[in-house]
Amino acid sequence: MLKRSQRISIFSTLSIIFFVFILTACANTPANPGDQVATTSPGGQGTAIAQTATHTTPGPFGDTSCPAANTARAAVLHPLALGSHQNLVYIYNDVPANTSTSSGVLRRYDAATSQKVDIVTSGLRIDQAQVSHDGQWILFLSIPDPRGDHEHSALLQLVRMDGQGLQTLYCFPNATYSGQGTSTRLPISIQWSEDQHTIAFSTNINNDTSTITLLNVTNGHLTTLLSQHDSLYTYRVLTWLDQKNVYILKEGGSAPTPPATLYVMDVTTASPALVNVMTTDTRMSYYSFDSSPDGSKLFSSYCLQAANPYNSTVSSGPAKGGTRTTFFQGTPQDCVQVTRAISSSKLLLLAHVATEAGNAFSNDVWTMDATPGANYNIVSLLSVSPDDATSYDFNESTQFSWSNMSRDSSFYALQSTNPAAKVQSILIGPLAGGDAKAIATTPSGLSTVNLVGWTTM
């Protein structure tokens, strides 16, 4: 199922000063004193895909060193018996003020007890983290300190939810990654399949070469799916539709931006090919994609941000391409920014809703029935006034249902940023309706937080 959306990122405009700052940083540092947490004991070696576990294999296990260049290693996935409390995992990239330290921390929050636990600390920063389908593992990119490792830009790592089994599967060579100087996140996309057997990742080097690679988690074998030389467009993996098909997005980098094309690729064929699914306008627009959990439908939303009034639609169609049906046409005040499928017939959406005068807007979270021809039945879960200039987003790295919604479907999660105050937060709210609350907030400065996903502990 598709679990990744594309939109104008609200977390990509932090100053380039961040990069200068962290080059002087230490690789590991204690948690922010203002956000005290318990800690786990990271391990470091293990065997194949873990199923639902009734017991826990103790650590340590795994190998944290980099494999040889152009090679990867198989994952060691010893099982972990999970609990019943809904837990939200998030990244806390800690950059304390007036110090020369920074560190990437994976942290989890227990929604029943409000306790926070540090899972692992790795590198100067952690990017692109996602929770496995079975809830036992976290896949992420660790950004190393170049003073200690000048050969690699990022390490693709795994860690078990209890902090054991930290291991490095692949190391990205030091290179000029397109967009690297304009974002706090390294522009590498990684997506772990729902069956946990394969990881697809994409890079674009020197603004002219896009490469998409498949890593077999069970044996460490690497396969190049796409190597595209194109100075006008980038190709990147969005997510898995199912166990054999992956979505790939082609986007232009020059202004005004040309339309974007969504493709699907069957990675099990001898010669994987790009199959056109749909094309969308991008200029001054929000656009988003997500598939139904059964993999049969592709939902998409579009809002022309420059329109006055807004022109916003939500549509559906076959997951691999075909006739699309628009089942929601927003009012002139509505601008749908992000769409997530939380069931085969219900969507979770992030929207701007303008005032009648059009001079201000609220940030809204909606649920919406997604059956064409039916009453779309919008329910507003959250409406935040624009007085504090805070922007909101769902999980930016992955879109599986557990990336934003708790495993028991009782909570949803948001991340927010206030650029004026230089503060970011993680929030959770009840899907049945009610107030969302911040469960983690950075101090004013360069520290960041990002959603990872839900599990049970």
Reported as a single tens digit per residue, the pLDDT across 70-94 is 999 999 999 999 999 999 999 999 9
Residue, of 301 and 176, whose pLDDT is higher: 301
Give the start-to-end residue ranges of the domains of the chain: 17-456
Give mean pLDDT, residues 261-286. Answer: 94
Q: Give the integer Cα–Cα distance in Å for 382 and 350.
A: 9
- Average of pLDDT values for 280-299? 92
CB atoms within 10 A of CB 115: 14
Residue type, 140: F
pLDDT value of residue 379: 80
Q: Please tell me the pTM assigned to this model.
A: 0.87
**Chain segment 18-56, per-residue pLDDT in tens:** 443 444 433 343 344 445 565 544 333 333 333 467 888
Given a contact cutoff of 8 angstroms between Cβ atoms, the answer to whether 381 and 330 are in contact is no
The predicted-structure confidence for 207-240, as pLDDT tens digits, reads as follows: 889 999 999 999 999 999 999 999 899 999 998 9
The Cα–Cα gap between 94 and 36 comes to 13
Integer Cα distance of 397 and 358 in angstroms = 32
| Distances 137 to 79, 93, 117, 335 between C-alpha atoms, Å | 9, 19, 15, 35
Class of 17-456 in CATH: mainly beta
Q: Which residue do the tokens 């397109």 mark?
A: 178
Question: pLDDT > 90: what percent of the chain?
Answer: 63
Position 359 scores a pLDDT of 66
> 307 is written with which tokens?
């329109």
- State the average pLDDT over residues 240-256: 91
The pLDDT assigned to 46 comes to 32
First-to-final CA distance of the chain: 25
Note the pLDDT tens digit of each residue in 159-180.
Answer: 999 999 999 999 999 988 876 5
For residue range 356-380, what is the model confidence (pLDDT) as tens digits? 766 677 888 999 988 766 567 788 8
